[in-house]
Amino acid sequence: MADHPPILFGYARVSTEDQNLDLQRDAFRGHGVAENRIYEEKASGASLAKRPQLAAAIKALRKGDVLVVWKLDRLGRNLEELILTVRRIQQKEAHFRCLTQPIDTSTPMGTLIFHIFGAMAQFERELGRERTMAGLAAARVRGRIGGRKTVLDEAKQAQAREMLAAGMPISKVATKLKLGRSTLYKWRDAVRPAPVVDDPAEDGANG
C-alpha cells in the first residue's frame, strides 16, 4: 500500500508545433487529473532523454501514483519503447493508465494485457532476428558477406564457376579476379560448385 493517497499525473504530447493539446488536457480534467499535474510537450516520440517533460512526470511519481496518458502512442513510438517506459514507471512502484485503450497496471486485467504486450514485443524481436539471419544467408549465397557491398558480383561469380569447374585452383582464380582467397572460400562453401580443386599447399587455408 502507498503511504499517501494515490495522485494522478497526466502526460500530454503532440509531435509538431501546429498540433493542439486541448483534447488531451480536457480528457485529463474529466478523469480527475489536476491542472498543475499535467506535463506537456511538443516533441517526437524519440527517446526519453529527448522528452524532458515525460522524464519529469516519471520522476514526480511516488509509490501508488498513476501516470495517465490519452493514447498509448503518446508514450512511445513502438511497442518495445512503450514497454520500457512503463517498466520505468513500475520501478517507482507507480502505475500507468491509458484513457482510450484498456490499459491500467493498477488492475489485474490491465497488468495481464501489459504482459501480453511484453510477450508480443519479445516475439517481434525474435522474428526480426530470424529475418536478419535469413537475409544474411541469402546475401552469402549471392556473394555478399556480412551485409557489405559485394566484391564478388554476378559477373565474377560466373567467371569463378567456370574456372573452378575447369579445375583451376582457388589461388589462381583469386589472382585472376583480384579477390581474396577467403572471399572465394566463403562463396564456394555457400554455393558449393563442383568440381573444385584446391592447391595442395593450401589444405589449411580454409580452416
Active centre residues (catalytic)? 15
Task: Give the integer Cα–Cα distance in Å for 1 and 164.
Answer: 75
Packing angle, helices 181-191 and 170-177, rounded to 10 = 110
Closest Cα to residue 159, out of 141, 172, 149, 146?
A: 172
Query: Residue for cell digits 494522478?
Result: 8
- Distance, in Å, from the CA atom of 137 to the CA atom of 132, rounded to the nearest integer, reads 9
What's the CA gap between 123 and 176, in Å, rounded? 47
Report residue 84 CA to chain centroid gap. 12
Residue type, 185: Y
C-alpha cell of residue 11: 502526460
